[in-house]
Chain A
Amino acid sequence: MAFEPIRALTSRTVVMQEENIDTDQIIPARFLTTTSRKGLGKSVFYDWRYDENGAPKNSSILNGVNLDTHKILVAGANFGCGSSREHAPWALFDFGFRAVISSDIADIFKSNALKNGLLPVEVDDKTHRELLGAPGATVIVDLESQTVRIGDDWQATFQIEPFARRCLLDGVDPLGHLIKQMDAIESFERTCT
């Protein structure tokens, strides 16, 4: 397990309104020629954060954000679509984010994020609009009760795949879980080959 178990996270949000934020935006392909999973945070949203001379763009919300206090990214619908590159959640995690909230998060991204300590949280449209409209809001994401709380008066639930939830809460290691099934795997192999 490369990360600490997560129970609840209280943090302020960074809001990116855009829909369909794809994995090429999160981490452009030219940064994929790495053989490590570390150090990708500096390239996250690179083309949104830097101009052609490599100077930080003032227009980018991610430049100057305090990651100690803002660990939750709120994004438009269909976040993380596109590639299966696990570099996308690695980069977001390495940058400092611990949760992504959207109304709908792409399947492979979601599965990859869950394996890397980045919580993908899909909320209903109303809650999503509320969050998109309140950049910097303090939000509590509680994995145990599967709720998102915004301030004192807004609460919503979210779904998360139960096994991934256990992995995150209890530090269950999915590879270890698979290795424990080795007897079943071996007998399956005997019947089909």
Chain B
Amino acid sequence: MNAKSLFDKLWERHVVVEETSDSPAVLFIDLHLVHEVTSPQAFAVLDERGLKVRRPDLTKATLDHSTPTLPADKNGELPYATPEAKAQVETLIANCARHDVELFGLGDPRRGIVHVIGPELGLTQPGKTVVCGDSHTSTHGAFGALAFGIGTTEVGHVLATQCVLQRKPKSMRVIFNGALPTGVTAKDMALAVIAEIGADGGQGFAVEFAGPAVEALSMEGRMTLCNMSIEAGARFGMVAPDDATFAWLEGRDRAPEGNDFVAALEAWRTLPTEEGAAFDKEVAIDTATLSPMITYGVSPDAAAPVDALAPSAATPAAQRAADYMQFAENHPFTDNKVNRVFIGSCTNSRLSDLRLAADILRGRKVKDGLIALIVPGSEAIRRAAEDEGLDKVFLDAGAEWREPGCSMCIAMNGDAGAPGDLVVSTSNRNFIGRQGKDVRTVLASPATAAASAIAGHIADPRPYLEANDGV
């Protein structure tokens, strides 16, 4: 018997029809998550062809991308960015009602960013296949699931047949050795690996993250790491399930209960990669040498330690990026003045992210004139944060505390930077214009973002954390 990897097992357990040279495999999907932006045209195809949603029980929907993060007005009207945004939200509501799909909609205490609520509700489980019309679906791989983003045509395929056509990708393992230093988080690990292999280094691969530093991560940290797989070009990112995974799931709303949980545990324990399993590519990173990371370009692989100097551009592409970002070369990154800070997105909007930001903001003030937006990933996170008084910490510091949603990660709901702004953001993409026209984005961890909000320039979070510890 050949030793098998987690990925091999996840794959073979879901093959309905094997792939041939002529056709891709038919892969069964256990959980299909749907949101308003990439689904209307898929539902329309169902209607055109007179088809129904085949497994409404395995299909769950939420509203997150186009929804405002400001509360409704006196008349209960939400401040949508455009009439089209409102129409898109209403289209999903109508499609879900017509097709009997459960929707965590407006006003639902379970609503939130699609990749935050799946795990939060216990819908995301080890051994499952999870898809969504969204490239950050790899987030769910943190639970030992085979989770990947699909396009709208494929959303239609899954709605109609509960299957996708997919060829088995190659496999890669990224091993993080050594302990994580203070002030260095899963986000910094993600940026370090993307810098190492490049924005297309994971193209065509399913990536397993492993090693002592990954095992030591919380589930939230593992989600952050898997979330960013696509920024290295990899559609699939995953971590083997272990006791931390099981502890997260136990007692969650949609997780198995009682004897079912015991039975599930037994199955889940068979998933991890076996000793000697082969990978097409392996990468090792020494976690102990990592620093808090930031990006300085317009692709997530332009990442470097926050305390480094801005490099000089070596290629025409790097020169164009440098012209856009306007960081003076060979000067410290920390010289650059920041206009806005965004803490949120499916990468870093979970309770531990907010706690980390609060640790730095507590008793301190956001720099005059700087706008700091803090957007929890879900209603549940918002409540948990408010129960701990984190909202008060943020408001006292002069930051804004918003309603859950994607917000400035994609800037399609009206939350956006102004032209020329330098934004330190905990989201996942620093593409030109992603956070608003001519906005310059610096990706960082919640700690680095919070430190930058106080300093008013790109800042290293470590001195703040050390001051807290009385060092």
Chain A interface (Cβ within 8 Å of chain B)? Answer: 17-20, 22, 24-25, 28-30, 32-37, 47, 52, 76-78, 81-86, 104, 106-108, 111-112, 115-116, 161-163, 166, 174-175, 177-179, 181-182, 184-185, 188-189, 192
Contact = CB atoms under 8 A, between A and B. Distances in A.
B25 to A, nearest CB: 10
Contacts of B365: none
Nearest to B19: A163
A133 to B, nearest CB: 14
A37 B42 CA distance: 10
B26 A35 contact: no
Interface stretch (B157-165, B272-280, B446-454): B157-165
Q: Which of A33, A81, A189: most chain B Cβ within 10 A? A: A33
Given A78-B200, A184-B26, A84 B149 contact: yes
B299 A24 contact: no
A106 B233 contact: yes
Contact of B437 (A17, A52, A106, A188): A52
Interface string B199-243: 110011000000000000000000000000010010100000000
Given A86-B41, A107-B204, A33 B317 contact: no
Nearest to A172: B23
Contacts of A29: 410-412, 434
Interface string B409-434: 01110000001000000000101111
Contacts, number: 167
A32 B84 CA distance: 9
Among all A-B residue pairs, the 4 with the closest Cβ atoms? A35-B40, A112-B151, A33-B84, A84-B149
Contacts of B23: 162-163, 177
Contacts of B199: 20, 78, 81
B82 A77 contact: no
A24 B22 contact: no
25 contacts: A17-B316, A20-B298, A22-B429, A24-B431, A24-B432, A25-B433, A33-B84, A36-B41, A52-B438, A78-B203, A82-B230, A82-B431, A85-B152, A106-B200, A106-B233, A108-B149, A112-B151, A163-B165, A174-B153, A177-B23, A178-B161, A181-B163, A185-B16, A188-B16, A188-B28
Contacts of B412: 29-30, 32-33
Given A84-B149, A84-B151, A192-B28, 12 more contacts: A18-B317, A24-B433, A33-B81, A52-B437, A82-B230, A83-B134, A108-B149, A108-B151, A108-B235, A161-B167, A185-B16, A185-B28
Contacts of A189: 28, 162
Contact of B434 (A24, A36, A185, A188): A24
A122 to B, nearest CB: 10
B150 interface: yes
A174 to B, nearest CB: 6
By size class, the interface of chain B is: 35 or more
Contacts of A174: 153, 157, 165
A47 B432 contact: yes
Contact of B431 (A25, A34, A162): A25
A86 B433 contact: no
B91 interface: yes
Contact of B22 (A85, A106, A166): A166
A107 B148 CA distance: 11
B133 interface: yes
A192 B16 CA distance: 11
A84 B150 contact: yes
B266 to A, nearest CB: 16
B17 interface: yes
A29 B90 CA distance: 19
Interface in B387-415: 410-412
A155 B174 CA distance: 38
A192 B128 CA distance: 11
A152 B151 CA distance: 38
Interface of B: 16-17, 21-24, 26, 28, 37-38, 40-41, 44-45, 49, 65-66, 81-82, 84-85, 87-88, 91, 133-135, 149-154, 156-157, 160-163, 165, 167, 199-200, 203-204, 230, 233, 235, 298-299, 316-317, 320, 410-412, 419, 429, 431-434, 437-438
B200 A104 contact: yes
Contacts of A34: 40, 84, 88
A115 B204 contact: no
Given A82-B431, A161-B24, A185-B26, A178 B160 contact: yes
Contact of A178 (B21, B91, B157, B204): B157
Contacts of A20: 199-200, 298-299, 317
A85 B37 contact: yes
A182 B52 CA distance: 14
Contacts of B156: 175
Contacts of B160: 175, 178-179
Q: Which of B40, B85, B320, B434: most chain A Cβ within 10 A? A: B434
Given A20-B199, A107-B233, A178-B161, A84 B411 contact: no
Given A86-B151, A86-B153, A107-B203, A185 B22 contact: no
Given A86-B41, A174-B157, A162 B21 contact: yes
Contacts of B135: 82-84, 108
Contact of B162 (A35, A82, A85, A185): A185
Nearest to B411: A29
B134 A84 contact: yes
Contacts of B49: 175
Contacts of B151: 84-86, 108, 111-112, 115
Contacts of B17: 181, 184
A52 B230 CA distance: 31
A192 B163 CA distance: 14
A32 B162 contact: no
Q: Which of B40, B150, B154, B419: most chain A Cβ within 10 A? A: B154
B411 to A, nearest CB: 6
